[in-house]
Structure 1
Amino acid sequence: MARWTGEWLPGTGTGGQTAPKWPGEAFGLPESGVGSVAGFGSRLLGLVVDLVVAGLITTLFVRYDLQDVAAMQTFNWWAGVVWAVITTVPVTFFGFTAGMAATGIRVARLDGGSMVGPWRAIVRMVLTIVIVPALVRNADGRSWLDRVTGTVVIRMR
């Protein structure tokens, strides 16, 4: 999968080459099926599932009261912490979160490494919090999260 594109930030454009026929073509990924670049919808659904799971886990340990603003702020803060943990740890070791597994996608390194690793997982999580980098995508269907960390989100099934 690894390929040098001759850009200042790998994956940010075509590097003077012609536009790819499908997302991931420049990296040798298939047009469809297993190993192809995951679409925006499955990535978004995976994120929503992870947020719901984080909220459910948080309800086991933190008081949830819609009438108490302070309690809700505390709950939301802890839900964010739980989301960060359930996002970073599994991606570091396995390449996917519970939400990604449910939607059939995972994070893969472009350099062919087997594990995403902690620094890539942490950077992806932090940039996801900012939101905008996750929405800006290039012709290969890769967001800023992917381009900064040298990864791509692919289909598992």
Structure 2
Amino acid sequence: MEQRSGMGSWLEGGPSDERGPGSRLGLPATGAGSQAPVGRRLVALAIDWAVCLVISTAFFDGDPMATLGVFALDNVLLVSTLGTTLGHRALGLRVQRLARPGVAPGALLAVVRTVLLCLVVPAVVWDADGRGLHDRAAGTVIVRR
């Protein structure tokens, strides 16, 4: 029988790197520019969703599809221009292009990222670096500011 213990799957991206999250991506291990921890990213997402729910309730009687639409619009506009949503800003995070650190993703990448984020499944499937498939597809990473 074949042993697969030394082989990484396509999702894991190969063997793990002991230097820390994001080290294979060329990010520092700690401090500004290092990969954001999952907990902070989830809290930022909860803040964003809560703000969008309040807006949706005020204007659309809390319709779930309207909330999703407000969330998508919020993400596309803020991430493409500022590289951060309200939740990201509150927790000291930003979305940046992996190939160009410090640069906001721009409209096209923000749309790709947001569509996949709204589908949920790509966002909850992570690679070995802790990036969701929505970030991999858009070539982005969430880092500390």
Q: Same fold per TM (> 0.5)?
A: yes
1:64-143 map, 5 Å: 75-112=63-100, 114-143=103-132
Distance 2:36 2:115 in 1: 20
Worse-matched range after superposition: 25-34 or 147-156: 25-34
**3-state SS in 2 of match to 1:152:** strand
Cα RMSD for the two superposed structures? 2.0
Confirm or deny: 8 A CA contact 1:123 1:145 kept in the other structure: yes
Distance 1:78 1:132 in 2: 20
Confirm or deny: 8 A CA contact 1:34 1:154 kept in the other structure: yes
The one-letter code sitting in structure 2 at the alignment partner of 1:153 is I
Tell me how far 1:12 sits from its aligned partner: 6.3
Q: Which residue is 1:154 aligned to? A: 143
TM-score (ref. length: structure 2): 0.83
TM-score (ref. length: structure 1): 0.77
Distance 1:117 1:25 in 2: 24
Superposed structure 1 runs of 4+ greater than 4 Å apart = none
Structure with larger Rg = 1
Q: Which runs of 5+ in 2 are unaligned?
A: 1-9
Count residues in correspondence: 134
Q: Which runs of 5+ in 1 are unaligned?
A: 1-8, 65-74
Identity %: 38
Distance 2:80 2:43 in 1: 20
Q: For CA contacts below 8 A with separation 6 or more, give which structure has more relative contact order.
A: 1
Confirm or deny: 8 A CA contact 1:12 1:147 kept in the other structure: no
**3-state SS in 1 of match to 2:96:** strand
